[in-house]
Amino acid sequence: MANLVQRLKHAVTWRAQLSSRRLRHFGLNRHCPFCAATVRAFVPEGQEHQVLFDLEVVGGGRRDDVVCPVCGAFDRERLVYLFLNNRGLVEGPMRIMHVAPEAKLGAWLRRRAQGGYLSADLMSTAVDENFDLQAIPHPDASFDAVIVNHVLEHIGDDAKAMRECQRVLKPGGWAILQVPIALKLEHTIEDPSETDPAARQRRFGQDDHIRIYTQGDYVARLQRAGFEVEQFRWTEERAAYGGAENRYGLLEKEVLFFCRKPTAQAPDKSPA
């Protein structure tokens, strides 16, 4: 009984705080698809390291219109949510693996997947399982979908992690694998051997990053791992993604990498 009372008190307090934030930030410029709040603006967020601006890294660097001030949802999870919802990709019982899960997107997926949602992370205690993406402890063809956003730029052997994501997908299954992308860079830069946080920050824009991808190279890496890759630009379907006024506060230059595992699997030509 005491636990139930405590949970009820927490729920009442949370709802009161939510209502207070809705009133405090109310406006007509932005709309959050998770909490349905209409606000003046989303909150700025991100790193301010020079390399992110010099290389015009999409998904990196400090920027406006990132975090919903009411529920805390990020721009990248708003984009993934809208994409999945608009395409009807999460329907009925599904097994979904969500690595380094965004809170609001994860809560929505858990409800929609009807018991088949698995959250995972290397170290966080707020997930269902802890494991290294380079060695996923699940059999082949275990999941209908895999979502991994802004993780691969941290991982030493990203090719192995990509192959693992592909391996655990069922034939015909899909994955969304987002990373920061540099627009002013000819080739991906990386150095997994770099361990000094200050050097990583200076070279890659964050003290736990070991690479910055270019778009063409990133797609090629995904394809070598066995994925079919669609490069989706939400700006080509603006009406469904906030219109000309960008009401959902999405990154104008962000590309969503939608990957599928072929139903007939080709031989793996990537290096062991």
HEC string for the chain: CHHHHHHHHHHHHHHHHHHHHHHHCEEEEEECCCCCCEECCCEEECCCCHHHHHCCEECCCCEEEEECCCCCCCHHHHHHHHHHHHHCCCCCCCCEEEECCCHHHHHHHHHHCCCCEEEEECCCCCCCEECCCCCCCCCCCCEEEEEEECCHHHCCCHHHHHHHHHHHEEEEEEEEEECCEECCCCCCEECCCCCCHHHHHHHHCCCCCCEEECHHHHHHHHHHCCCEEEEEEHHHHHHHCCCCCCCCCCCCCCEEEEEECCCCCCCCCCCC
Look at residue 21 in the predicted model and tell me its pLDDT. 76
- 36 burial (CB, 10 Å; 0-12 / 13-18 / 19+) is exposed
Look at residue 268 in the predicted model and tell me its pLDDT. 54
pLDDT(96) > 80: yes
* pLDDT, tens only, 240-269: 999 999 999 999 999 999 999 999 755 555
* pLDDT, tens only, 209-236: 999 999 999 999 999 999 999 999 999 9
Is 266 within a domain? no
Q: How many domains are contained in the chain?
A: 1
Q: Helices 103-112 and 75-87, interaxial angle, to 10°? A: 20
Look at residue 114 in the predicted model and tell me its pLDDT. 86
Is 270 within a domain? no
| Rounded CA separation 213/218 (Å) | 6
Q: What is the pTM of this model?
A: 0.90
Is 222 within a domain? yes
CATH number (domain holding residue 88): 3.40.50.150
| 146-to-39, 143, 233 alpha-carbon distances in Å | 31, 7, 20
Range of the domain at 140: 2-260
Q: Tell me what the pLDDT averaged over the chain comes to.
A: 92
Is 191 within a domain? yes
Is 58 within a domain? yes
Is 43 within a domain? yes
pLDDT band at 28 (very low <50, low <70, confident <90, very high): confident
Is 268 within a domain? no
* Structure-block tokens of residue 19: 């209502």
Is 272 within a domain? no
